[in-house]
Structure 1
Amino acid sequence: MTATEPWRDAPAAASRQPVWITELPADEVDAFAAAAPDGPLTGLRFGIKDNLALAGHPTTAACPGLADSIAATSAVAVQRLVDAGAVPVGKTNMDQFATGLVGTRSPYGACHSVHSPQHISGGSSSGSAVVVASGLVPLALGTDTAGSGRVPAAFNGIVGIKPTRGLVSTRGLLPACRSLDCVTTFTRTVAEGAAALTVLAQPDPGDPWSRPAPPAPAPGVAARMRVVAVPAGDLDLDPVHRVAWEEALRRLDTVAAHVVPVDVTAFLETARLLYGGPWLAERWAAFGAYLSAPGVDPTVRAVVTPGRDVPGPEVFRGLDRLAGLRRRTEAVWPDVDALMLPVTPGHPTLAEVAADPVGVNSRLGTYTNFVNLLDLCAVAVPAGTRPDGLPFGVQFVAPAFADRPLLDLAAAWCGEPVAAPSPAAGTSLVAVAGAHLSGMPLNPQLVELGGLLHARGRTAPGYRLYRLPGPGVARPGLVYTGDGPATGIALEVWQVPHQAVGRLLDTVPPPLCLGTVRLDDGTPVTGFLAGEHGVRDAVDVTASGGWRAACG
């Protein structure tokens, strides 16, 4: 044993827990280490949730009836870590067939939070979270269908990264819900998770659900996330959880440039579809054939078996309902970069789960179940402790393929160093406050010219916004008068190729012109302005706070 191999001498917090289903013999670990190539993760020990294959070992998904099924090849995610120099040390415990957010649905034993033997670890990636939180390994793979990569992270005070669906290959995963499953990481820092994701996030032609990241971010995804949404209404939180959440909201004011309350009703309605809609049929299709095997957890069987009888028309009704809810949630994203929510409504005890295994589990998914259904990415991060000393976690959620800037936001939250994105050579930053905003009628002009959204924000105090008269698309007039609101006017800053700036100006008729706009952080950038003489006959819409609201 050496000081760099804590997995050989487990800390007490984990040694008394059933965190491993299969521990690799020391000589096999040493052989992996000796064969490790020189790569970005060389020598890094990692655990593997036991629904991901490791060649030469069983993939049980916590079902003893599958203990004789030896994998011929490793899951693509596992192999990519090995190819980057990382060293596997074992297969971790989990809620059986990845069906549960509690960490207690395993014949191999129930895990608990490293901070309290009375409180659950969270699942289904229970063992993976505990081995990282207790210091056995710096990295573990999990999966997330309903929140299994985030709930155990929150309950153990670590970082859980749930990437965009398809960004990490799921080939070699015993599925829970094939269209929603994501391979996730558990680490103690965001930087460690981001390093692993860089290795993992590669297209896989052999996985029909794999999706490559687009060469450029989607038009509404900012390189620098400054505007964070929070729920506008009350949340269903346990009292001690509520105290920690309120403290997190105060802390957010020091991390985000702007905090925007939004209606999250449609997100929460989507969350209820996962187990209240036809997606149970997909779970039955994935592993229903195994539910008669020895050692099946009775709660898992009871939860999933109704999926066998879901009629075809009900599936399409569910998809139609999801499409309607997705459209409603899309209205949130044009004005914000990310949404912050608590990971769970509370932190149950093992006794509470035993008394009501389905009800407690269902409530735990209140704020996590919707993420994969709506094709979003998310990262769970520690957010201090509750008054009783248990860890509290929040999650940042963003649109698909916003993973990299979302991780920068999470790193900033955790106090880790973050390099501010710089404009590429040959480009300029241009502020827009009207019809060129994301989702507005003239935004395609920016995109077609090669523009990329750099950041959302607001002007410095003193600006006013007007609706200019004239035919066609409604045009804004941003004017510095000195008496505009202290909160500024909402705008976006775009990175635009130099040669495109003039072409963009040619599309903007007088009285608009290019000038200097000062942002809320004091930065001066080029932007479209109108002189005071040009707005004499215009309607003052400053009170709306921004063009999108003025046009709504």
Structure 2
Amino acid sequence: MKPVTFSPAPRTWDVSQALAGAGQLDNPAFISLVDSLVDDPGGADPGRAVGQDDSSDPVQASRAQPLRGMPFAVKDNIDVAGLPTTGACPTLTAPAERNAHVVDRLVAAGAIPIGKTNMDQFATGLVGTRSPYGACHCVDSDDHVSGGSSSGSAVAVASGVVPFALGTDTAGSGRVPAAFNGLVGYKPTRGLVSTRGVMPACPSLDCVSVFTTTVSLARAVHDVIAGFDPDDPWSRRRPSPPQAGIARVMGVVGVPDVPIDLDPRHRAAWEAALARFAGLVRLVPVDVSPMLEVATMLYDAPFVAERLAAFGHLLEPDGPHLDPTVRRIVLGAAGMEADRLFAAQHRLARLARDVAQATAGVDAVLLPTTPFHPTLSDVADDPVGTNSRLGTYTNMANLLDLSAVAIPAGRRSDGLPFGVQLVAPAFADAPLLDLAALLTGERASDVQVPVPPGRHLLAVCGAHLSGQPLNDVLTGAGARLHRRGRTAPGHRMVRIDGPLPRPGLLDDGTGPDEGIDVELWEVSDELLAQLALDVDPPLEIGLVRLWDGSRVAGFTADRTARHEPDISGAGSWRAHLADVSRGSADR
């Protein structure tokens, strides 16, 4: 796939119109607006109000400021100089002295902050109703919640006030409101975007998120805001070279292998989305049960104590400025014993390993964003239970150190938006956004990312696969995973036993019609030549036909020898190993 590109929009965004729209919304999306722009909405250049420079060369200006002239909204737990950062707590009125790091990066790219948006108080909630400033509703229904905690940011974009907005996402707050308002909600890898200047909820898990109407704009904003911040203790550098196992081109997507919790309208929309996506990518059943167990741990385990440490001091004394549900949840962590936290961390480590094993053969996992879309009255009747269920498929992402993006996936039978999410390993953000663009139809064709000069594609089907014993032979020589795929129909896979059992491919026309799963790795001339010398007969480096008709080098079996057993029925080496493991356990 060709990476998503974003052409800077013409300077057609009217900041004064955006401010007027923010003030006229029949939905409590905004808490405050930028005074300097309100006082002079018709200024000669709204960009200059935030310190932008003019340029006589529009091409040079667009490169230096790719978001030039675009107004944006900011969740009110992210600092904007001159405006209070309330966290939806009315007693916090001191103006911020400086912008959050992420806001500074956007301003340097030419974007213009116009105001601060409503939210679940102290970013504790997925409903969007836990705010003294009013409960936001989704843009398509006055009766249904907007989702939280980044409720106002989603409404601001979905209402057309701004082209993009910042939120945060600790438990799903950047994805649930996106799903309920028909938006793209991108949650980057933890630490990829600085949280300096963000009011902490769970500092070790907090992420700045982005709401847009298109994946391409989300990618453009990502390119501006991502970067290491030495002054943020939670900031992380992108690995160089990229992490092993993350494909440059994503095309194999895991889906739950068992029925999952969905209301009837959500289930029908989910099944319709799967039918559409099946024509664009390969959908593979995976065990999502360890993911779902991790999701329950965010609030049902002692991890909630981090919220108490982060902002518990703001919850005393009680008063009308505090949301009672938020206060009860967070103060409930008081007095938790440290041994409970360590026990939870140990369980999380085991589950994280289970998730990695279950998803080793896929690029990303596709899940509904939520199981249902509650009404405001549903939340009033059961504020904790409704909120907990909303996090069924989102709570686990940051605990498992995953990147994620929520995308629109059609409408339910009642006309409300339905959304799904893609989750992938940490630092898979760029190819994940490319995959999201493919599924939303922003790219009309599946264009191959070219292999760099001097490198070749090598089809790997066994011990050299990601996570398998010989994978470090590839990664240690600088090889990079290009994409996952399949052989052409007719290939067989045979097992060759030895100190390290390995499979070989045979292209004799008698194998399964669906082919055999392979990984395509970009390898150097030198590595390919060395592998050809090192491989032991009856394995050899030969030619493998792929599902698209092309031919690449791969690990093949000597056609002149007789090979047993034939394990083609498993469809992949990982599936064969799982069959062997189950067989051993049954004996």
TM over 0.5: yes
Residue number among 262, 275, 278 corresponding to 1:237 in the alignment: 262
The separation in 2 between residues aligned to 1:88 and 1:64, in whole angstroms, is 21
- More displaced stretch, 391-400 vs 350-359: 350-359
Write out per-residue CA displacement over residues 61-98 of structure 1, whole angstroms, 9 at most, x where no aligned residue: 0000112x221111111111111111000000000000
- More displaced stretch, 311-320 vs 153-162: 311-320
Aligned partners of 1:32 and 1:88 also within 8 Å: no
1:393 and 2:419 are equivalent in the alignment: yes
The separation in 2 between residues aligned to 1:8 and 1:144, in whole angstroms, is 25
Aligned partners of 1:11 and 1:135 also within 8 Å: no
CA 1:79–1:3 in 2, change beyond 3 Å: closer, same or farther?
A: closer
TM-superposed CA distance for 1:374, in Å, is: 0.5
Residue number among 35, 43, 47 corresponding to 1:33 in the alignment: 47
CA 1:32–1:285 in 2, change beyond 3 Å: closer, same or farther?
A: farther
Which residue in 2 is equivalent to 1:505? 532
Aligned partners of 1:338 and 1:398 also within 8 Å: yes
TM-superposed CA distance for 1:345, in Å, is: 0.5
TM-superposed CA distance for 1:119, in Å, is: 0.5
1:127 and 2:137 are equivalent in the alignment: no
1:143 and 2:143 are equivalent in the alignment: no
Aligned partners of 2:457 and 2:522 also within 8 Å: yes
**Please, what TM-score do these two structures have when normalized by structure 1?**
0.96
TM-superposed CA distance for 1:548, in Å, is: 1.9
> In the alignment, residue 181 of structure 1 is paired with which amino acid?
D
Which residue in 2 is equivalent to 1:461? 489
Which residue in 2 is equivalent to 1:78? 103
The separation in 2 between residues aligned to 1:458 and 1:71, in whole angstroms, is 54
> In the alignment, residue 305 of structure 2 is paired with which amino acid?
A
**Please, what TM-score do these two structures have when normalized by structure 2?**
0.91
SS of the residue corresponding to residue 554 of structure 2 reads strand
Residue number among 273, 278, 298 corresponding to 2:297 in the alignment: 273
| Pairwise CA RMSD | 1.7
1:19 and 2:43 are equivalent in the alignment: no
TM-superposed CA distance for 1:498, in Å, is: 1.9
> In the alignment, residue 514 of structure 1 is paired with which amino acid?
I
Which residue in 1 is equivalent to 2:56? none
Aligned residues, how many? Answer: 547
TM-superposed CA distance for 1:11, in Å, is: 8.1
SS of the residue corresponding to residue 333 of structure 2 reads helix
Which residue in 1 is equivalent to 2:584? none
1:473 and 2:497 are equivalent in the alignment: no
The separation in 2 between residues aligned to 1:521 and 1:28, in whole angstroms, is 58
TM-superposed CA distance for 1:228, in Å, is: 0.4
SS of the residue corresponding to residue 284 of structure 2 reads strand
CA 1:42–1:283 in 2, change beyond 3 Å: closer, same or farther?
A: same
Residue number among 104, 115, 119 corresponding to 1:90 in the alignment: 115
Give unpaired runs (5+ residues) of structure 1: none
TM-superposed CA distance for 1:28, in Å, is: 6.7
Write out per-residue CA displacement over residues 35-75 of structure 1, whole angstroms, 9 at most, x where no aligned residue: 324411111111000000011111000000112x2211111
SS of the residue corresponding to residue 88 of structure 1 reads strand
SS of the residue corresponding to residue 367 of structure 2 reads strand
Percent of aligned positions with the same letter in both sequences? 55
TM-superposed CA distance for 1:544, in Å, is: 1.3
SS of the residue corresponding to residue 455 of structure 1 reads strand
Which residue in 1 is equivalent to 2:451? 423
SS of the residue corresponding to residue 335 of structure 1 reads coil
The separation in 2 between residues aligned to 1:353 and 1:188, in whole angstroms, is 27
TM-superposed CA distance for 1:27, in Å, is: 4.1
SS of the residue corresponding to residue 67 of structure 2 reads coil
Which residue in 1 is equivalent to 2:306? 282
Which residue in 2 is equivalent to 1:367? 393
Q: Within 5 Å, which residues of 2 pair with 1:108-187?
A: 108-187=133-212
> In the alignment, residue 239 of structure 2 is paired with which amino acid?
P
The separation in 1 between residues aligned to 2:164 and 2:13, in whole angstroms, is 17
The separation in 2 between residues aligned to 1:507 and 1:28, in whole angstroms, is 72
Residue number among 455, 476, 487 corresponding to 1:448 in the alignment: 476
Write out per-residue CA displacement over residues 505-537 of structure 1, whole angstroms, 9 at most, x where no aligned residue: 222122222322111122222222123223x14
Residue number among 554, 559, 579 corresponding to 1:532 in the alignment: 559
The separation in 1 between residues aligned to 2:288 and 2:433, in whole angstroms, is 22
Which residue in 2 is equivalent to 1:493? 520
Q: Within 5 Å, which residues of 2 pair with 1:220-369?
A: 220-256=245-281, 258-292=282-316, 294=319, 295-369=321-395
1:514 and 2:541 are equivalent in the alignment: yes
